[in-house]
Structure 1
Amino acid sequence: MDSNKLSSTKANSEQHLRSEGDVNTTAARQQWNSNIQHPKTQALLERDANIFLHQAMSTPCLDSLQAAEGIYIVDSAGKRYMDFHGNNVHQLGYGHPQVVKRVSEQMASLPFSPRRFTNEVAIDCAEKLSEICGGELNRVLFAPGGTSVVGMALKLARFITNNYKVVSLWDSFHGASLDAISVGGEACFREGMGPLMAGVERIPPAVSYRGALPSPDGSDLHYADYLEYVIEKEGGIGAFIAESVRNTDVQVPSKAYWKRIREICDKHNVLLIIDDIPNGLGRSGEWFTYQAYDIEPDILCIGKGLGGGLVPIAAMVTKDKYNSAAQVSLGHYTHEKSPLGCAAALGTIEAIEQENLLAKTRDDSRYVAERLHAMQARYPLIGDVRGIGLLWGVELVTDQDTKQRALDEAEAVLYQCLNDGLSFKVSQGNVIQLSPPLIISRQQLCEALDIFERAIAQVSHDYNYEVKA
């Protein structure tokens, strides 16, 4: 392959990779790494690069960590970062005492439960999940991680409907296994993988700011109608899978959209699978994001924050009427009823209840919205602000009319904030995603937004953007 083709391939690959997070192979990242002067950190990064398989979005690493507590991660040099990323496991921050207590007690009694046996903590956890889900969601299966739960949901949908075809959304992410990337909508995960799971149809997501099918009145209802069009044209559709709120670049559809989706699925006997793996457990100000839309899925997938940032655990929750696949191994996992995972999950739910974090998150949401919209009014670099609960996206553009993505500027904001002790991720190359722990104090939240605004102001100055008084 000649150098021009190599350059083009690399550019296309990097553009794909921007969809899920900030690219770690750019000049800005190289500059960041070259500025690391701490000998232990340098040594750890070199050892990491020499022993782990390299993969996109994970190699090379940003820094090395030695501790994590509350809303902070601490690097090997002792620098603290407010963590507004956390891989979506940090609803309670790190080392929450209620989760640590639950898991420590469990370790001392029953650390593992072999398959074919049950245990009280797993039953308690499943019953508690059914309680906070409400409605008809009262059947549970646990698994070690969210990707596995998505696979279980797809298998159950096939069994129930006798239809193997699935509709999903472009730009969606449902995990990195072969079945999950088959239904996912991001090219970066499918690139070079060859044939994947057959029968997947994708439709455009309900995007308010730069959608594929913009509406003159700003409505997103027609995106739901596109689902019905595909169901009727394609036939044999068994399930529609989606995040009710897109986590990475924070897309928040209207209630009308989701009510219409529910109606369409009911009309055509299509199972609605909601992937709430990144946003469940309070991120939206509700236990689960679908509850903010007054709908109920047929199958709910949860994980990440379920283990309180301490133990990996995920769950599929469905309805009793779908408890008909007893002869099928939907999730034949070694840690199927993990006592440690279930103890961590119970501790997480207890902490959210005891600290009234759902109401706190809704209150914090109003404060964050006010601060970010005030920044948008002042800085033309900010093209759009959108969010729910403590999940917010700030989209940076070079021009508010053309909405051209401000890729370099977004990277500059990221690294300025990292320098000042605030960590987050960048999606689509220009969307700053802010998702702090739900336990964050108002003072800490104010401090973080001050750091962010200073970075926006500095980058606006450096790139010659006009700032309004």
Structure 2
Amino acid sequence: MTTFTDAPSSHFRSEGDINTTDAREQWNRGLQHARTDELLARDSQVFLHQAMSTPCLDALVGAKGIYIEDAQGKQYMDFHGNNVHQLGHGHPAVIDAIQTQLQQLPFAPRRFTHSTAIECAEKLTQICGGNLDRVLFAPGGTSVIGMALKLARHVTKNYKVVSLWDSFHGASLDAISVGGEACFREGMGPLMAGVERIPPAVSYRGALPSPDGSDVHYADYLEYVIEKEGGVGAFIAEAVRNTDVQVPSKAYWKRVREICDKYNVMLIIDDIPNGMGRCGEWFTYQAYDIEPDILCIGKGFGGGVVPIAAMVTQDKYNTAAKVSLGHYTHEKSPLGCAAALATINEIEQQALLPKVRQDAQFMQRELERMQQTYALIGDVRGIGLLWGVELVCDPITKQRAFDEAEAVLYQCLNNGLSFKVSQGNVIQLSPPLIITREQLTEALTLFENAIKKVSKDFNYV
């Protein structure tokens, strides 16, 4: 029988948490709860094992607001949430909208429309602004990535795509073809042809560091590849890399937009994890004062309850009437559209965008103070309510502090704070947008206490 330890070691230090180490096994042994042990054992027996998802961390029985609750009744502040929890978990307005929709129109077959879908699409184009005024819905983010790639081929008549190393755009075959993480492609054989990858604009440990710390030259590399390769139809990227939180400069994105315009390359922005307010704007491209040709959103779009995603593009690209770009069974899901519409309305009514911008200043101040205090913290970077804290063994060599990051993770879990570890050493902190300042302060105190303890345990000065 296949065991978890059969996974290649390359999966250990990748996009997700580290699930197969001695520290994880020690965590599992420490749960010591009959119901939890039973659920974890049954899960292991019935689900296919896969990297980064198994073995499971714990068994949940509840999720409300900023908290998730396990089978023992322990609550964790959820600073991960798979990026669906902009409104927290089980927001009353979202639940009410779904329940009302269930009574009226629970499902709409293809070829039919309904007012909820139309209102949702209209509202989405309103918050996108600019020229983004055409929409297609789909059941999930990976699906809209595929739709975007198909539309770019149709419009440009060029099938080649440029993407970034270390990027993630979903787990389907077309999405991993343009993704930049090898762990998703390992053993998969031939994938979608015509994909060229370039280094991402990384300020702390970039592949092409600049003496003055600028990152515009990473965009110049895009132009170099487009010129050399020829036949490029699209450049796809997250405006801000979500998992290990890479935040390029405005100059970088301005240059990217200029290059795409110059060579008639469609710019696809994947805002699936970061959209719906996490950066302090509705979408991250708005923080950079650019506009994509195609925008892909998902995850938090459905309020953390119903899976729904959307591709948004410009009217001038409404040229594929004879091509089935999506054609999904739940293409205009009444429940998904009701949840999405309620989510947009709540973010507006609660004025969460300016709140996020204020919270960002607080988080930056507190995390940078910690960086000055603890040698273990090599870099702090973020935007809005998305922050990465990179732990290093040495500030000069920037050697990744894998074991220390794990120790911080489990120390925080023990004290009721859950988050994601990316690349094996980057603590990603992405709380719900509804979090209060008191709750945010409490979470950062728990985090700092863990950093302090691990620094002492590992003999950092």
TM-score of the two chains, using structure 1 as the length reference = 0.97
Paired position in structure 2 for 1:370: 365
Paired position in structure 2 for 1:463: 458
- What whole-Å deviation, never above 9, does each CA across 1:239-262 have from its counterpart, x for those lacking one? 000000000000000000000000
Choose the corresponding residue for 2:18, options 8, 14, 23: 23
What is the correspondence of 1:272-291 to structure 2 with a 5 Å cutoff?
Answer: 272-291=267-286
Choose the corresponding residue for 1:237, options 218, 228, 232: 232
Paired position in structure 1 for 2:410: 415
- What whole-Å deviation, never above 9, does each CA across 1:345-369 have from its counterpart, x for those lacking one? 0010011000000000000000000
Q: Distance in 1 between matches of 2:53 and 2:424?
A: 16
Paired position in structure 1 for 2:100: 105
> Is residue 2:127 matched to residue 1:132?
yes
Paired position in structure 1 for 2:34: 39
What is the correspondence of 1:229-268 to structure 2 with a 5 Å cutoff?
Answer: 229-268=224-263
What is the correspondence of 1:165-244 to structure 2 with a 5 Å cutoff?
Answer: 165-244=160-239
User: Counterpart of 1:424 in 2: which secondary structure?
Assistant: strand
- What whole-Å deviation, never above 9, does each CA across 1:176-206 have from its counterpart, x for those lacking one? 0000000000000000100000000000000
Q: Distance in 2 between matches of 1:135 and 1:15?
A: 42
Q: Deviation of residue 17 (structure 1)?
A: 4.2
Q: Distance in 1 between matches of 2:382 and 2:9?
A: 26
> Is residue 2:327 matched to residue 1:332?
yes
CA contact (8 A) 1:19 1:171 kept: no
Choose the corresponding residue for 1:121, options 111, 116, 119: 116
Paired position in structure 1 for 2:308: 313
Choose the corresponding residue for 1:150, options 145, 157, 170: 145
CA contact (8 A) 2:93 2:342 kept: yes
Residue type at the aligned position of 1:64: A
- What whole-Å deviation, never above 9, does each CA across 1:261-288 have from its counterpart, x for those lacking one? 0000000000000000000000000000
User: Counterpart of 1:142 in 2: which secondary structure?
Assistant: strand
> Is residue 2:447 matched to residue 1:452?
yes
Q: Deviation of residue 145 (structure 1)?
A: 0.1
Paired position in structure 2 for 1:96: 91
Paired position in structure 2 for 1:3: none
CA contact (8 A) 1:245 1:251 kept: yes
Q: Distance in 2 between matches of 1:314 and 1:443?
A: 32
- What whole-Å deviation, never above 9, does each CA across 1:307-353 have from its counterpart, x for those lacking one? 00010000000000000000000001000000000000001001100
Q: Deviation of residue 14 (structure 1)?
A: 3.1
User: Counterpart of 1:239 in 2: which secondary structure?
Assistant: strand
CA contact (8 A) 1:220 1:253 kept: yes
Q: Distance in 1 between matches of 2:106 and 2:227?
A: 50
Q: Deviation of residue 22 (structure 1)?
A: 1.2
CA contact (8 A) 2:11 2:51 kept: no
Q: Deviation of residue 16 (structure 1)?
A: 4.1
Q: Deviation of residue 19 (structure 1)?
A: 2.2
With 65-74 and 21-30 compared, the bigger mean Cα shift is at 21-30
Q: Deviation of residue 51 (structure 1)?
A: 0.6
Choose the corresponding residue for 1:400, options 395, 398, 401: 395
Q: Distance in 1 between matches of 2:74 and 2:10?
A: 31
Residue type at the aligned position of 1:433: Q
Q: Distance in 2 between matches of 1:116 and 1:308?
A: 26
Q: Deviation of residue 15 (structure 1)?
A: 3.6
Residue type at the aligned position of 1:371: E
Q: Distance in 2 between matches of 1:395 and 1:255?
A: 22
> Is residue 2:433 matched to residue 1:438?
yes
Residue type at the aligned position of 2:21: T
Paired position in structure 1 for 2:424: 429
- What whole-Å deviation, never above 9, does each CA across 1:48-105 have from its counterpart, x for those lacking one? 0011111111111000000000000000000000000000000000011111111110
CA RMSD of aligned residues (A): 0.9
TM-score of the two chains, using structure 2 as the length reference = 0.98
Give the number of equivalent residue pairs.
457
Gaps of 5+ in 1: 1-6
Q: Deviation of residue 36 (structure 1)?
A: 1.2
Residue type at the aligned position of 1:330: L
Q: Distance in 2 between matches of 1:146 and 1:67?
A: 25
Paired position in structure 1 for 2:381: 386
CA contact (8 A) 2:161 2:236 kept: yes
Q: Distance in 2 between matches of 1:348 and 1:287?
A: 12
User: Counterpart of 1:30 in 2: which secondary structure?
Assistant: helix
User: Counterpart of 1:35 in 2: which secondary structure?
Assistant: helix
Paired position in structure 1 for 2:266: 271
Q: Distance in 1 between matches of 2:51 and 2:16?
A: 10
CA contact (8 A) 1:14 1:23 kept: no
CA contact (8 A) 2:12 2:19 kept: no
CA contact (8 A) 2:107 2:335 kept: yes
Q: Distance in 1 between matches of 2:13 and 2:96?
A: 39
Moved over 2 A (4+): 13-19
Residue type at the aligned position of 1:315: A
